[in-house]
Chains A and B, each alone.
Chain A
Amino acid sequence: MTDNLHNASETNGTEEVKPKPVLTRLRFKNWRSLRDVVIDDLQPINVFIGANSSGKTNIIDALRFYRDAQQKGLVSAVMELGYNKIQTDVLENDEDVELEFTYQLKKFSDLPITEITTLQFQKRDVPFKYGRALFEGDVLLRREVPRDLPIREGIETFSFTVTDRPPKHHHKAVAILNYLSTIAQKRWQILSENFMPPLRLSHQEGGDIYLMERDAQNTLVILNYMKQAYPELYTRLSEDLSWLLNHVVKFDVLQYHDYPRDIEAIIRENNSRIAPTISSGTARIVAMLTAIYALDMRQEINSSIDNLKLLTPEIPGLVIIEEPDTALNPGLLRKFVEQIRFYADGDNPRQFIFTTHNPLFLDYFKPEEVRVVSRDENGYTTVDRVPERVKENWLDEYGLGEVWTTNSFGGLAE
């Protein structure tokens, strides 16, 4: 096992190899409408398209649930979603809900690392069972068996019984599980579809200074901290915003002299005046860029593992945004995607997952980055790639989004 957990970019002699996507595969079993869905070959940028209620949010919620379970504890995460709203409704008592995440973590192994979380809910009774397993390739490193957990607000009984723990894998398994947990807790930025940051905060309002809340309410808190602690990042963010939005000469977060603990976002326009208002689209872009740039701030954390006490920008980050194109002018979409590619292609491993309904937005993505989310005849969600023929058949003349509107590869509302 490599000791230096901060050195995530792989090097091969003198030639630097681009980091591969860290999260490479997802599998959801009996999670809401996802009866058994595999999403493999994840890219640095991934876009889920589909009709309303096709199951896109269920995919995002599974990721959020996993992160929340690591952050706040499993019981809190279950309570937040509602235990009766997690599993596919036709399940019998003995069927598990499974969330399976596969990673490429060169620091630990050349083989894929897979963590499987299992949940089992009882129909009539509230207790549920929880377990997890960790694999390196096909080799089981550790299995923790289901154990009854009472669902009651505030109760966290995270003790479990480890059944399969091959001694030689013990330390490696613990290190990997800690690493995965830390990444999910601290490096997964998730914005829900209706996120909208406030543009002024009073001093009573606070929030995390690294991790974006799902509705982006703490955007200014993060920005204010970034301005003070990481001014170079803050400047780059403002420059990116100016590039995206022609009218923005400078973006800034100001503290008031009279109320120094109150902060407000302002935009200085071409005429050097301060814009009287900031549109919702601009505000959403600010929140999205803030979530991305927050991953570049170094963060000290409480960890029992020495080399995880400081999170640095080189540690992989995942940015999940539902409908990032909402309230954006169609003309801005191309630049937005180009800006995302700039982040995804950067030195630090960053991965993006988006959902959208917008064919104009879809036009700027490659077919391999797109997954089509639909419902089958039984009402279960399916997730498919864009067929290879679409590339051959259409893309010489039409954009991917345009082709999507023909219903040639599904995911379209009838």
Chain B
Amino acid sequence: MSGTIWLITEDESDKVIVEALVRKKGFDIQVARLKLTGGSGGVDRLAHQLERLIRDAKDMKKPNDCIVVLHDADIHMQQSNRQTYEQIRRICKDNKVTLILARDEIEAWLLADSGICKWLGIRPRNHDEETKPKDKLNSLLDQKHNMKYRERNQEKILAHLNGDGDTHSPSMQEALQHLEDAPCTK
């Protein structure tokens, strides 16, 4: 019986990417997103609301479901702001919830995917350590396909996904390992 990933993210676009990736990887699971109040964005808001969202997810989850917190680690952010990330990590640990971190932004996983890269005319490689992979993706989309990286275009972009970005991206590899270990994918 397939389970559900209760995915807590900052942005709607993250859920769509995760959904596409788990499908490509052959996991028979649903993805339901718990959102922050007041729309997308804001790691501070995620940290502030995370415990409540986890409590809700725990209440709604069935035995073979799992809870996953996914957020961009924003590795290039100043050290002084790192305490928020540490807080999120601690909350996930205390609640025994899977935490998946994209090194800077989750779009780095798309730039490591052979299908997307072929469509964009570049070679797949690791973009985990780069700043703002979303901007790079946006620029490539604009050049090659006269397209912006917007939510409404995600379906068209993700149609080219092969789901093999983990061969180049260690952060995606780690994320998939977490998912493979989670009860909802068993």
Contacts and interface: CB of A to CB of B under 8 A. Distances in A.
B69 to A, nearest CB: 14
A393 interface: yes
Contacts of B53: 406, 408
Contacts of B55: 389, 393
Interface in B24-40: 32-39
A405 B39 contact: yes
A396 to B, nearest CB: 10
A405 B56 CA distance: 13
A77 B37 CA distance: 43
A158 interface: no
Contacts of A393: 52, 55-56
Contact of B32 (A390, A405, A407): A407
Interface in B1-52: 32-39, 49, 52
Contact of B35 (A389, A398, A407, A409): A407
Contacts of B59: 387, 389
Interface string B38-81: 11000000000100110110011000000000000000000000
Contacts of A389: 55-56, 59
Contact of A407 (B34, B38, B39, B49): B34
A264 interface: no
A406 B35 CA distance: 4
A389 B59 CA distance: 8
Nearest to B48: A397
A269 interface: no
A402 interface: yes
Contact of B38 (A387, A405, A409, A414): A405
A48 B33 CA distance: 22
A359 B35 CA distance: 14
A389 B51 CA distance: 13
Contact of B56 (A402, A408, A414): A408
A223 B186 CA distance: 65
Contacts of B56: 389-390, 393, 406, 408-409
A387 B55 CA distance: 12
Contacts of A402: 37-38
A389 B53 CA distance: 11
Contacts of B60: 408
A243 interface: no
Given A389-B56, A393-B55, A394-B52, A405 B37 contact: yes
A407 B49 CA distance: 13
A402 B60 CA distance: 18
A409 B32 CA distance: 12
A324 B132 CA distance: 44
A22 interface: no
A403 interface: yes
B13 to A, nearest CB: 13
Contacts of B37: 398, 402-403, 405-406
Interface in A375-414: 387, 389-390, 393-394, 398, 402-403, 405-409, 414
Nearest to B56: A408
Contacts of A409: 56
Nearest to B55: A393
A393 B49 CA distance: 10
Nearest to A414: B33
A99 B37 CA distance: 37
Contacts of A405: 35, 37-39
B32 A406 contact: no
A198 to B, nearest CB: 37
A406 B39 contact: no
Given A389-B55, A393-B55, A394-B52, A408 B39 contact: no
Nearest to A388: B59
A407 B7 CA distance: 11
Nearest to B54: A393
Interface string B125-155: 0000000000000000000000000000000
B30 to A, nearest CB: 9
A408 B33 CA distance: 9
30 contacts: A389-B55, A389-B56, A389-B59, A390-B56, A393-B52, A393-B55, A393-B56, A398-B37, A402-B37, A402-B38, A403-B37, A405-B35, A405-B37, A405-B38, A405-B39, A406-B34, A406-B35, A406-B36, A406-B37, A406-B49, A406-B53, A406-B56, A407-B33, A407-B34, A407-B35, A408-B34, A408-B52, A408-B60, A409-B56, A414-B33
7 shortest interchain CB distances as A-B pairs = A408-B56, A402-B37, A406-B35, A393-B52, A393-B55, A407-B34, A389-B59
Interface of B: 32-39, 49, 52-53, 55-56, 59-60
Given A393-B52, A408-B56, A409-B56, 14 more contacts: A389-B55, A389-B59, A394-B52, A402-B37, A402-B38, A403-B37, A405-B35, A405-B38, A405-B39, A406-B35, A407-B32, A407-B34, A407-B35, A414-B33
